[in-house]
Structure 1
Amino acid sequence: MKRRPWKSSLTAIMLGAMIVQGGTAAWAAEPSTPTVAAPSVNYGLTSDIRAAVKSVAVTPTASGTQVAVTVRLYNGGATPNRVPEHELRVQNTDGLTYTLKPSASNKASLQPKEITELVYLASIDSKEIGTIAGLSFVNVDVYSYPKVETTLLTMPANNVWYGGTGSAAMQSIASSQWGQAFTIPGVNSGLTYTTVESSIQNTATGRVAVVTLLATNPGAGRETVPAFRVDVQSEQKNFEGKRTEVAPVILGAGEKAYIHYAIPVDSSVSLTNLLVLSTDTFVPKEGGAATDLATAKLAIQWPKEQGNVAATTYTIGQPIAFDPLTKVIDKSAQVSLMELHVHDNAGDGYKTAVAKFKVTNTGTTPIATPAFLSELVDKQGVSYQGARQTNVTSMMNPGLSYVVSYSYIVPQSEDSDSFALNLLDAQAAAPYTTTIAALKTDVQTEGSSSTISLYPFDVTFNDITTNMQYAAGAYTYRLKLDLTITQKENVVVDNNFSKLRFEVVDGLGRVVGSKDAALTGVNKLTSGKTSLDASSVSADQFTSPYTVNVYETVDTPTGTAKRLVKVIK
């Protein structure tokens, strides 16, 4: 049978090689040449209808083998054309033939220039199907005796997917490297994709592998991301994924967008491959539930390191470069990390890290305060989830900056002097997270000077004294402070801002009095001399000398986080 290519108007089927951004970071990538499937070879079924093989899958089942085939048809004529009456049969290399059942959803006719896909399925009680060599459309005239069979079209079966985890299964499909752009063989789409991030996330129901793909439309028209599936694979098992986006993802010419897949995996499993699979649905004519079919088209080696978004060296106070495709950060919002400290919590058994961000509205209208999450990752790859301060201003006015703090509980053994700080989007792949910025920065050390930084405040302790009094069986303590407080301009602070906590510690290391003081509000600390009454604890003795520990405290959903900023003896 003579073959010729699809008509030029069907540019979506002709998948050409294109340059796509892909590399170490989802939003700042190196150019790469995509892994591109050759255009589907098509054959004449009638004078107007062309046929091509989309997918062939041979999958083992509990009782035998399932054979699934999807064929794409195109009506190149100027009038509607009926699909010829036919059976679909597959032949193996030993000459055996198997007849597949058509899906009830298969179309019987095509409008001019219309493309459709016909789905076929057979469940065979045998595990010895062999290697599929080709498939045929056969017209069977059951009204003739003996019946007359006419072969309408025979096509070779290339790139058959033999479901499984072995090397033979992998050799039957194309392969690609992580971060390299690719197209999906056999799928009627001109879009290209790049793997940009993977992570293993723990949930209440178990571990989930979360994969992010960057979809790019290099064409001249709008196109919808087709239905396809992404699975992951270990040496012994396949794990089925599901796209987190429910609504269709539509890309205009030159547009890019992320799509995400969540894949539940077993505990402590070692993943080897990412599988990209085309999907179809078979509807039995005799009734019953529809069957979802999936055919692996591409295998991508699972990355050795999670995250895949390289942390860039960052200087405290500089604007953070976010993924430009994120919707969590408004285009008018400028975010800078102003402080990162780690300190011991005496008596609590752990350390606390505190990161403080300045968020500025550089636009001309109010915008929502960015609701990103964060995590710290040490040099060994151990990550610590951040807790955002409990109350945050919901809207930001133009020309002003606002302060948002995050705290991290880390073990006493954590001694890293630098961390990767990942800022996360909890909306794009909800309920899972994706990375929108990754910074590598050093931990700041508390200075020995009399001035401490509590951005946007600088507090200088000119003098501090402690007086003890005893009355009614309890000791009370009065702190006399002489402070100089300055504040950066155009930085808004309100009652949500962190506070100072003064703890009086006696010679035995016991906290014998404490007092919280705000830097905002009616009774805020001000420059000059002031006195604070520390709350007392019942004790029948005390031991001098006294030490005053000064903490910055932040209210978070997990409790009050403390940062030791100064020790006064």
Structure 2
Amino acid sequence: MKIKLKQVAMTALLSSSLLMSAVPAAWADEVSSAPVAVASAVYDLNDSLHVTVEGVYNEKTSSGVRLGAVIRVSNTSGQTLRIPDHELRLKTSDGIVYTLRASESNAHGVQPDSEVELTYMKVVKRTTEVSVTDLSLVDVNYDVYPKQETPLFTVPVGSYVWSGSRSEFADPAAVKAWGEAFTVPTLESPLTYQPVDISRSNTNQGAAYTVKLLVENPSEQKETVPALEIDGKSSTNVYVGKMVETDSVSLEPGEKKYVHFVINAEMDTVLESLNVLTPETYEQGEDDAQTFSIGKLNIQLSGAKTQAEVSYQYGTPIAFEKWNDVINQDLAIAMTELHVTDNADQGSKLAFAKFKITNNGVSPIPVPGFQAQLSSPTGYDYNGERQKDAQQSVAPGTSAVVSYAFVLPVSEDSDTFTMNIQNVIQGASAQAGSTALKSTIASYKVAVQGDDDRHSISLFPYTMDIKDYFLSQITAPGQTVSVNYIYKLQLNLDLTRDLKTIVDNNFSKLKFELVDSSGSILGSKSFGFTGTDRLVNGRQTLTFSNLTMDQIQSGVSVNVYETISTATGDAERLITTLK
């Protein structure tokens, strides 16, 4: 049988375009145009069956050399066609030819106007490496003697054989810059990908890198994200990454979605680039399944972790990444406060951040459970503790407040930070230990607000003016011969509030702490802005009893703290001292 060779690309057979493709377009907030893919070489088995080489695998292991190959067979006819039992062979640089065995899961036929992937493998028991130069598909007729062999096609593959974790991409077209759009070479999928974020979390097992890709479907039919693997590459090692989304991800025509990959590595690992691979499975018997991956592209990480360039103005709506599934489109979220205060008794500093969440819609919307992270200009990241039991939903035309506390070292003296708003990736905890994986959906520079004067204390949505105060000491007879000592703090407050912002009993409280001249704490009491025992406009008296000292002290001052309740306890911000 005479086999006709057909190539539908403007490249020669030796071109690495068999595996590497994708000419990127410029991406900003959106993909302006899809990358242009260079077609792989296609070979005709007959008028209806056509073959494309998707990848070749060659890796030296402790048990020998694993050789693998993946081809795609397409049926352009209107009827189901049987796939001929041809042999797939690999030739090495020293002239040896190895015949690979077909996976038992390989299809034996192709449905009309469709395609199938065929996987082949062979493990060679040898102690030295091999260098693969050619791939051939051969028609063997065993019905005659001697057997008759007819080569159908031969592909030179030496320049792009994937050799496992040791492989390097020789073709510059296979190396992509961070943020550059790409399609996955040799796959029929029209989906395009853009790397938009990489973040690191510390887990009990080491470091977990989370890579976020924006996927777009430029076709006119529904598409499913194919099985992909993204590995992290340091200067010395390669770390296998897995897709976070366990369910299949499908995109309608023109739709965009995010997909995430997690890469677990040692604690001190610094990744330099990412390898994009397609995982393959070879089966030989029910209990004998082997997997291998074939590299397609490399993404450089230089410039991927840059500080935000946009400076934030307090009170303005935050611009979130499009297509995130955390922030409802009818919600406007603005940062209203960021204060840093010394927390000397605990050997740290404390940062307080508040966010105003406004519902511009016509029905109640749940308060999104986003996370907050501060990054210093020197590269240190501080995770925020979200207030406990925050407001559950926001009514139409109103606003809610959510607070975060950040523990900073005493050595942190930055007056500007990068605020990263993050979402927790669902279903990722099993792949990254007990620490939840996060993905950044907004990032901006923010300047720390200065210390409050007692006549203008910001406690959004409140502004408080302590117009005047007086601390008195009172002795009162006890039930026995002892004497009780009581302090009374008379306050004259002027409280104003943003009337559209709703607060409940989970909102911040004010803690008044009595301190003597030596710094010893005599007692404290907390008051909220809601409820029966709340702070109000005008004059009021706060009583402190059950003191730690049994005698009147001189030089007593009052530290006033704003406190929020978090999952790890109360966080306190010193806002003023009354002396």
TM (norm. structure 2) is 0.90
Offset at residue 467 of structure 1 (A): 1.2
Who is 2:467 aligned against?
Answer: 462
Report how far residue 165 of structure 1 moved.
5.2
Distance 1:485 1:443, change over 3 A: same
Q: 1:231 to 1:15 in 2, by over 3 A?
A: closer
1:9 paired residue number: none
Most deviating of 323-332 and 542-551: 542-551
* 1:487 counterpart = 2:492: no
Number of equivalent positions:
554
Once the two structures are superposed, what CA deviation does each residue of 1:295-314 show, in whole Å capped at 9, x if it has no partner?
011112233553x5735210
Equivalent of 2:448 in 430, 443, 450: 443
Equivalents in 2 of 1:495, 1:16: separation in Å? 56
Structure 1 pair 129–89 and aligned structure 2 pair: CA distance change class (3 A): farther
Tell me the secondary structure at the aligned position of residue 347 of structure 1: helix
CA gap of 1:361–1:187, structure 2 versus 1, over 3 A, is same
Contact 1:69 1:121 in 2 (8 A): yes
Structure 1 segment 338-487 matched on structure 2, within 5 A: 338-427=336-425, 430=428, 431-471=436-476, 472-487=482-497
Measure, in 2, the Cα distance between the counterparts of 1:42 and 1:129: 30
Q: 2:145 maps to which residue?
A: 145
Shifted more, 380-389 versus 105-114: the winner is: 105-114
Q: Which moved more, 1:230-239 or 1:471-480?
A: 471-480
Q: Aligned with 1:271: secondary structure?
A: coil
Distance 1:309 1:291 in 2: 42
Separation in structure 2 between the aligned mates of residue 15 and residue 440 of structure 1, nearest angstrom: 37
Q: 1:292 maps to what in 2?
A: 291
Which residue pairs with 1:163 in the alignment? 163
Q: Distance in 1 between matches of 2:525 and 2:332?
A: 35
Distance 1:31 1:439 in 2: 24
Amino acid at match of 2:282: F
Post-superposition CA distance 1:454-477 (Å, at most 9, x none): 111122212211111235355321
C-alpha distance after superposition, 1:378-420 (max 9, x if no partner) = 1211111111111112121100011111111112221111111
| Matches of 2:97 and 2:552, distance apart in 1 | 95
Contact map agreement 1:376 1:386 (CA 8 A) in 2? yes
Whole-angstrom distance in 2 between the partners of 1:300 and 1:533? 64
Change in Cα spacing, 1:16 to 1:559, as seen in structure 2 (3 Å) is closer
Structure 1 residue corresponding to 2:8, chosen from 1, 5, 13: 5
SS where residue 457 of structure 2 aligns? strand
Report the more deviating stretch, 526-535 or 150-159. 150-159
User: Does residue 39 of structure 2 align to residue 39 of structure 1?
Assistant: yes
Separation of aligned partners in 2, 1:538 and 1:505 = 11
1:520 and 2:518 aligned:
no
Alpha-carbon separation, structure 2, partners of 1:30 and 1:236: 34
- Aligned mates of 2:129, 2:62 — CA distance in 1: 14
Match of 2:433 in 1: none
Local SS of the residue matching 1:536: coil
Residue equivalent to 1:252: 252
Query: 1:311-340, CA deviations, whole angstroms, 9 ceiling, x for partnerless residues?
Result: 521011111111121111111111111111
One-letter code of the match for 1:19? Answer: A
Query: Take 1:552 and 1:70, find their aligned partners in 2: how far apart are those partners?
Result: 63
- Relative to 1, partners in 2 of residues 1:20 and 1:428: Cα closer, same or farther, differing over 3 Å? farther
The alpha-carbon deviation at position 348 of structure 1 amounts to: 2.4
Cα deviation for residue 177 of structure 1 reads 1.3
Amino acid at match of 2:294: T
1:448 shift after superposition: 2.7
Deviation per CA, 1:122-180: give whole Å up to 9, x if none. Answer: 111235454322222223333433333332333333653332555x6332682111111
The one-letter code matched in structure 2 to 1:329 is I
Deviation at 1:449, TM superposition (A): 4.8
With over 3 angstroms needed to count, the CA separation of the structure-2 counterparts of 1:197 and 1:18, relative to structure 1, is closer
Which 10-residue stretch deviates more, 332-341 or 187-196?
187-196
The separation in 2 between residues aligned to 1:272 and 1:16, in whole angstroms, is 22
CA distance in 2, matches of 1:274, 1:558: 36
Describe the shift of the 1:376–1:151 C-alpha distance in structure 2 as closer, same or farther (beyond 3 A): same
What is the rounded CA distance, in whole Å, between the counterparts of 1:235 and 1:405 in structure 2? 40
Q: Using the TM superposition, give the Cα deviation of residue 544 of structure 1 relative to its aligned residue in structure 2, in angstroms.
A: 1.6
Q: Is the 8 A contact 2:488 2:544 kept in 1?
A: yes
Q: 1:157 to 1:14 in 2, by over 3 A?
A: closer
Instruction: State the alpha-carbon separation in 2 of the partners of residues 254 and 14 from structure 1.
Output: 25
SS in 1 for 2:545: strand
Contact 2:222–2:250 (8 Å) recurs in 1:
yes
Gaps of 5+ in 2: 10-18, 429-435, 477-481
Aligned to 2:272: 272
Assess if the C-alpha contact under 8 Å between 1:14 and 1:39 holds in 2: no
Partner residue in 2 for 1:226: 226
Residue identity opposite 1:318 in structure 2: T
Cα deviation for residue 20 of structure 1 reads: 5.4
Q: Determine if contact 1:551/1:562 at 8 Å carries over to the other structure.
A: yes
The whole-number CA distance in structure 2 between the counterparts of 1:158 and 1:363 is: 60
CA contact (8 A) 1:44 1:153 kept: no
Say yes or no: does 1:98 pair with 2:98: yes
Q: Percent same amino acid at aligned positions?
A: 37
Structure 1 residue 351: Cα displacement: 1.4
Q: State how far apart, in whole Å, the 2-side matches of 1:54 and 1:200 are.
A: 33
Does the CA contact (< 8 Å) of 1:480 and 1:529 recur in 2? yes
Counterpart contact for 2:557–2:577, Cα < 8 Å: yes
Tell me how far apart the structure 1 counterparts of residues 354 and 565 of structure 2 sit (CA, whole Å).
13
